[in-house]
Structure 1
Amino acid sequence: MKSAIWIPLFDELADPLVVARLAAEAEEAGWDGFFVWDHVRWREPVQAAADPWITLAAMAAATSTIRLGPMVTALPRRRPQVVARHTATLDRLSNGRLTLGAGLGSDRFGGEFSRFGDEEDDRARAGMLDESLAILRQAWTGDAVQHHGEHFTVDDVAFLPRPVQPTVPVWIAGFPGRIRPLHRAARHDGFVPVNLEHPDQLAEAVAKIADLRVGEPPSSYDVAVTLPADADLAAFRAAGATWWLADFDPHSITVDEVRSVIRGGTYSPAKFVE
């Protein structure tokens, strides 16, 4: 199971230079990934928030091997043609190290949809998410994109230069007990369960995704769990997790806390044997 740092870009961590230094420290300490939240607003007491794409660019320039990306970005509040440019450019800047986390997003933590007049209906956002992902998949090929959907239009536009990777891996966020997110996740490259409470939940979701992906090699699929460093990581690994993303409280996170987890080290079976 690979290990990554996963942080909100809030308050002390709203400085891209600070986060870039932390990413470099994580790489030096042997971590496999460093992922950041994508939010334009969060509820109090959070005051400051940084842009994830500019922060990721700073991280890419400060590192050379660690995987990075937004985890997750709410594609329904972003224009897919802009995300196509962002992702291809960031993948080239990082020499093929981008992973894109994608999901519906939620209004309940900061009013990120209602306060800006964006779509609040979950069903409508699901349609927007699927269309955006279809556009991105086409855009990353470098061929001209033709898309005329309910929510978005792209009329014969090629997005060049292409990413370094043949295609950017896409991990889909969703509740593990809901069938539609699992179907969506099965069509892409990974799954990030939301509000995961027990390894059994994960095992059930992983089994369902495996059924939906019958005929596809298991090694080509990732399951990323977001858990604090003191969680029972071995149990989630046994349930099917391939990545552990070290989770932090967004209302109290500090630079020192992140640095302490980085220095504490990555997941290894021997480390967590009692």
Structure 2
Amino acid sequence: MKFGFIGSYGSPAQQVRLAQECEAHGWDGFFTWDGVSLGDDSFGAHPTWDPFGLLAAVAAVTERITLGAMVFALPRRRPWELAQQVLTVDHLSGGRLVLPVGTGASLDRAFTSVAGQPATLRDRARAMDEVLAWLERSWSGESFEHDGEWAGTGPFRFPVPPVHGRVPVWPVAVWDAEHPPRRSLDRALRWDGMVPQVRGGDSPEDAEPGPDQVRDLVAWIGEHQEAAGPYDVVMQGRFDADRAVAQQQARAAAEAGATWWVESWWDPTTTTPESLLERARQGPPAL
């Protein structure tokens, strides 16, 4: 299991420094996030930054860690611009970019304040599928056209593919052991991994699956995955300040089948750029 860290708060310069400290202290990945003008609550009072701009800066000053965002909101992105951004950061980092992707937050004003954007969850899911299909075709190196529900384009060609031929895609998928949401899960199974969330809850923390849920999900994936090869299951959480307890948390996640633990601190009343830096410098617990 690998260990990632989210730069949930801080200026661009603070996040770049945080990523450098993550690499220096044994973390395997650094993730930013993707939002535009997030409402008027306490979280929305914080500034938002362009994730690809941040990741490009981080790519230039790191050598080893995986880079991404938790998560890229694809339905509001123009696929041709996204393809160019992905390709740029992928090559700048030497092939270290991954793409956790989702339908976007409902309070994001890039959806609610812009005419013509997909509004409902169902519409955003269809738009995400279309953007992903466009993006994958852009990696072929061949000229292609697209006639879709949300975007119609004439010929495009990106002559240089990603460093490793493609960039791993990890869609968000909803998990419910009693009634597995097949549309969400089947979408994720078509790609390279998934970021599971459980139904319900009023905060990102409420949506995080525990080890038992991850174990059930991994078993389900083993029964339903058709393609051979590695598949990532990304678990989000927060390590306890007690290192012995944190080690137990890490072992439980790894034994459940998670391939990534991503350290995720979102509470705006307790999380600061300074507290994130302090936690990153502690490094991940040993397995």
Matches within 5 A, 1:17-56: 17-43=13-39, 44-45=41-42, 46-56=45-55
Q: Please state how far the C-alpha of 1:21 moved relative to its aligned partner.
A: 1.3
CA distance in 2, matches of 1:211, 1:197: 19
Q: Please state how far the C-alpha of 1:227 moved relative to its aligned partner.
A: 0.4
Unmatched 5+ residue regions in structure 2?
Answer: 198-206, 241-245
8 Å Cα contact 1:173-1:185 kept in structure 2: yes
- Residue equivalent to 2:68: 69
Q: Which moved more, 1:237-246 or 1:152-161?
A: 152-161
Q: Which amino acid aligns with 1:31?
A: W
- Residue equivalent to 2:89: 90
Q: Please state how far the C-alpha of 1:202 moved relative to its aligned partner.
A: 1.6
CA distance in 2, matches of 1:197, 1:189: 19
Correspondence 1:196 to 2:199: no
- Residue equivalent to 1:205: 217
Unmatched 5+ residue regions in structure 1?
Answer: 270-274
Q: What SS does the aligned partner of 1:113 have? A: helix
Q: Please state how far the C-alpha of 1:83 moved relative to its aligned partner.
A: 0.5
274, 277, 283: which is aligned to 1:256?
274
Q: What SS does the aligned partner of 1:184 have? A: helix
Q: What SS does the aligned partner of 1:234 have? A: helix
Q: Deviations over 1:125-150 (max 9, x none)?
A: 11111111111111012211222112
- Residue equivalent to 1:224: 234
- Residue equivalent to 1:272: none
Q: Which amino acid aligns with 2:122?
A: R
**Percent pairwise identity:** 38
- Residue equivalent to 2:263: 246
Q: What SS does the aligned partner of 1:142 have? A: coil
Q: What SS does the aligned partner of 1:106 have? A: coil
Correspondence 1:6 to 2:26: no
CA distance in 2, matches of 1:161, 1:49: 31
Q: What SS does the aligned partner of 1:90 have? A: helix
Distance 1:81 1:3, change over 3 A: same
Q: TM-score, normalised by structure 1?
A: 0.89
Q: Deviations over 1:14-57 (max 9, x none)?
A: x2222111111111112110011101122422331211111111
> For this pair of structures, how many residues does the alignment match?
262
CA distance in 1, matches of 2:158, 2:227: 31
8 Å Cα contact 2:7-2:15 kept in structure 1: no
8 Å Cα contact 1:106-1:112 kept in structure 2: no
Q: Which moved more, 1:46-55 or 1:153-162?
A: 153-162
Q: Which amino acid aligns with 1:113?
A: F
Q: Which moved more, 1:46-55 or 1:193-202?
A: 193-202
